[in-house]
Structure 1
Amino acid sequence: MSSAEQKALFIPAKQGDFVVRATSIPTPGPGELLVKVHAIGLNPLEWKIQKYGFAVETYPAIIGTDFSGVVESVGEGVTSFQKGDKVLCGGRWENKYASFQQFALAAADFAAQIPSSISFEQAAAIPTGVATAAIGLYQNGTFGAGLTAPWEQDGKGKYEGKPLLILGGAGSVGSYAIQLAKLSGFSPIIATASAHNSTYLQSLGATHVIDRSLDTAAEVAKITSAPVEVVFDTVGSAQTQQAALSVVAAGGAVILTAQSTLGDAVGEGKKVRTTFGSPYVPPNRDVGLALYSRVAEYLQSGAIQPNKTEVLPNGLDGIAAGLDRLREGKVSGVKLIARPQETA
């Protein structure tokens, strides 16, 4: 492999098996960074892309959206980053910008400096999870509840005294939603999870953790009599969606990370929104820009803590097995991380 080449994990054809191949190292264009990727965060959507063949039109394809590493070079017009900076990046499903490789391009707009207290592995667990949580809560339109973000004027603490319910609090999106809800002032912040994750979620800001095996609506009613105007369902099963709809108040919003099974006639003025955590989608750009400009500050202050992580062996070659575990539901409370520079 020449010095201008790298290793990347490809899907060679629609629904094909993952394979590691050599490919060229891209060159950053205006507003872009070239990043040597030290850590990759895995997301459930990635096994679905490979298995079902959606979201990607051109093959061979490199996928993956979450990565961290060191800036190798910057494109024209980039002033906020320089060679040697440690960064976390939100990628997209285009080969040069996807995360499943040793060198990737990143939009400077959707990259952030990594504080010294945060490892590459922790940093790679952040982009899609925190962006999905932020867009779901704060985007005003197709993909969100339209709440005032904590970084906006009078936004921090604005929702003091108002309850918020998060279904699936121990997942990546759920854990970031808890922390953003805390910044927004919600109280109580109620999350569902397995019992063994209760202490962890309370450390992030959840005031109450309901065992996910219990009747959610009944348990919420024991905690608060105030109307729950926003429910964020990060699980997305038919059962959790129905639970979300039963809890949310008239005129409130149910935010989903999966396609709705609730139909159109949900009644009582209740809104159901399926969020999409990419800041590259035009309706999400403003929230994405505002979020990424503050991620380093939030990490430095501890206002946002990264997910717990588990590092997979064998670099890029270990990703397929990790995605299999996600598909089989064998991952709880951690973000799976691959180190592409360790690829044999």
Structure 2
Amino acid sequence: MAKKIKMVCYGVRKTEKLFFETLNKNYGYDLTLIEEYLTKDNIETAKGHEAVMVRANCDCYEQNLLKMKEYGVKYLLTRTVGYNHIDLKKAHELGFEMAYVPGYSPNAVSELAVSMGNGLLRNLFYSANHQQNHNFKIDDFMFAKEIRNSTIGIIGTGRIGYQAAKAWHGMGAKVLGYDIYESDQAKSILTYCDLKTLIKESDLISLHCPYIKEENYHLVDKNFLAKMKPGSVLINVVRGELMDLDAVYDAVKSGHLKGVGLDVLENESKVFFKDFAGKPTPDNITNKLLSLYPRIIVTPHIGSYTDEAVKNMIEITYENLKVILSGQECKNKI
């Protein structure tokens, strides 16, 4: 049993509360669960807690970090794989002990990628949009290539990319893969090739690579898109920074791409988790993308919003704190 400690957790959705409470029976933390994300406006809610648990889009930059330090917070845990929402330099300078979640259910994100991809390949979103207008005529755009006759390109063949490749392979598609680290496991269901070949031959490309600013910022740019097959589909459920969204908009608007599925945006903090009640968002490129619905589908970063993924993220974070409190070296230390 872990030491009794007060921890405030931000961004806890109603559907997640039961997981937080049930899993905590094995740890005994004194929890405060807050549905809102951590911002400068609600930082005072961290008062009286030694530990803070955050998720992506929580504000863990200098001003909030200074407040946390002032309030006596010692431990900063993020239940995410990425941690670019934390000013690491300042956090280390202030002496916070931090940890992250190295991974969670790979099926969660891969299932969303495959669902989006298949929906766009078979024109489901397009057809459903026609149905909403009481239009049941079949037009030329609805004509589809069967998935078993298609080539799927997977960029990044780690745990999530492998599961996506496995699903499409199971439907009979030819699957190509590109990764700087090739996986022997993945070789049983896909064929590795260079990036140029993958882009040229794929009917659908799904991104599953990590975002590394110095190496692949705007990997999908005007040049990348121009090399894609006319009428192909692009899926990004990883990181918004991997794509030049203006170039993506132009590629769909011109008809070069058939469709694009996005669960992430480069400026998503301006848009996601907010209701604009049918009015334009404050982000111009997002508004442009939305104008091309149903050929561009945008979901609000729901890739990890599944029972298994949430369970994994919470449990690993609880365990990270337990290890830190025990005085041992946490393998997931930031």
Class of the TM-score when normalised by the shorter of the 2 chains: 0.3 to 0.5
Which has the larger strand fraction? 1
TM-score by length of 2: 0.42
TM-score by length of 1: 0.41
Which has the larger helix fraction? 2
